[in-house]
Structure 1
């Protein structure tokens, strides 16, 4: 018979094949997360936020209480997982995992004003940070898990793309600054100031608040825009290929290791973690 800690861990650890109690807890937490995000959005409406301020405050206290208890129970029961079986080091390792950090950020805006003096603007910012609770739903989403695996598998290619984008951003800003600074010193005051124009052009957004007026500047602007289309299309292609590989992997027949009896893919994931 499982111990209390093992039962708590099984209830909080999402599994598509989980039992009735686990499903009820999971669905309840998902509903609470979504309603919290809706509440944050509605509070920004002047009429609704003022008229129902008491309701929103009570709902916030209730939600923070549930999320806090959830986090503490996860922290207490996580030693059931063999990856975090050491009482102190295991829990410290768990506390810096992405989902554990999201759990902390979900309740942190509520507790900070009690310990640190903050002005009204900072308090408003902390309240808006509550929308980060939406990321808590990722724990219960298989699609989110696939996205994380694709990102891990393609992180080298994505880093190369980011590096190339930074190099292109610096070169574009430097060239445009040298061409347009003399005729538009207020629009292109420095290379750093020109990076706003370069970013808007490379991403093909083109706000139009800063535009070149010299013939050479216009020519450079067109070339940079074309390069931006090719450059920012690369991450989409990388992610698309990663998702295709993940889908193909799932549709293939499982290969069982003759030595331990585990799935080969499961062994690979254990090595990665």
Structure 2
């Protein structure tokens, strides 16, 4: 039984009707969830269908929770996760299992704990993580995830270097422009917005240097 559940949910084989039905059902549920997260942000729809949105969310979380529990229960059918405790812990630390957990975690956090109103919206938006569950069903997304994992050390170096550049350039610009524009360049963290826009070449233009030295630094 455990082996069959694991095969249906994790190791689907071509021609397996149960695996196909399960995959199509979960895929459809994921897409509906993401679509409703988007629709919920429209005030008119939110007011008119609030109860239906909550009901659908409750049903979805129940299904995703059962799915997550079954994956953890059945993973020991795979020799990689054979140990009853450590094998399951190893499985729970895999990227796709972590995504499954994040997809349901916000609902239970709000359900069992008092959450500040300031954090309610970010927690609800975390439901968009369910979109990443599609990675389990898309070969290209799985390949992309594997590339990110194998090249993680190089990515860490890139992020580290960019962070140093951002802090250094923003600090210099703050000291150069603060007196001329105390509102725009009020602090180093505030100046980092200019740094991010400059480094990413987005060019929003809402904050820009006006002093000769600041313009020279920005041109670099």
Q: Normalising by the residue count of structure 1, what TM-score does the alignment of the two structures yield? A: 0.74
- Once the two structures are overlaid, the 10-residue window that deviates more, 11-20 or 36-45, is 11-20
Is the alpha carbon distance of 1:149 and 1:137 closer, same or farther for their aligned partners in structure 2, counting shifts above 3 Å? same
Partner in structure 1 of residue 106 of structure 2: 109
Residue deviations 1:9-31, cap 9 Å, x none?
00001546351110110111000
SS at match of 2:210: coil
- Contact 1:138/1:145 (8 A) holds in 2: yes
Asked if the contact 1:14/1:26 (under 8 Å) is kept, the reply is no
Unaligned runs of 5+ in 1: 224-273
> Which residue number corresponds to residue 146 of structure 2?
149
Q: Distance in 2 between matches of 1:190 and 1:65?
A: 46
Deviations 1:12-65 (A, max 9, x none): 015463511101101110001100111121122222222222322222222111
Tell me if 1:13 matches 2:10: yes
Of residues 135, 157, 164 in structure 2, which corresponds to 1:138? 135
Q: How does 1:110-259 map to 2 (within 5 A)?
A: 110-223=107-220
Pairing partner for 2:44 from 37, 44, 47: 47
Q: Runs of 5+ in structure 2 lacking a partner?
A: none
Give, in angstroms, the shift of residue 89 of structure 1: 1.0
Which portions of structure 1, spanning 4 or more consecutive aligned residues, are displaced by more than 4 angstroms?
none
2:64 to 53, 67, 71: 67
Number of matched pairs: 220
Alignment partners' CA distance in 2, 1:121 and 1:187: 25
Task: Determine helix, strand or coil for the equivalent of 2:201.
Answer: coil
Q: Is 2:13–2:19's contact at 8 Å kept on the other side of the alignment? A: no
Could you tell me how far 1:128 is from its partner in structure 2?
A: 2.3
How far, CA to CA, are the matches of 1:86 and 1:218 in structure 2?
62
- CA contact under 8 A between 1:106 and 1:132: conserved in structure 2? yes
Secondary structure, counterpart of 1:52 in structure 2: helix
Residue 81 of structure 2 contacts residue 88 of structure 2 at CA under 8 Å; is this kept in 1? yes
SS of the residue aligned with 2:180? coil
| Residue 219 (structure 1) shift | 1.8
How much has 1:82 moved relative to structure 2? 1.1
Once structures 1 and 2 are overlaid, which stretch shifts more, 189-198 or 59-68? 189-198
- Are the structure 2 counterparts of residues 31 and 82 from structure 1 closer, same or farther at C-alpha, using a change threshold of 3 Å? same
Cα 1:49–1:183, aligned 2, differ >3 Å: closer, same or farther? closer
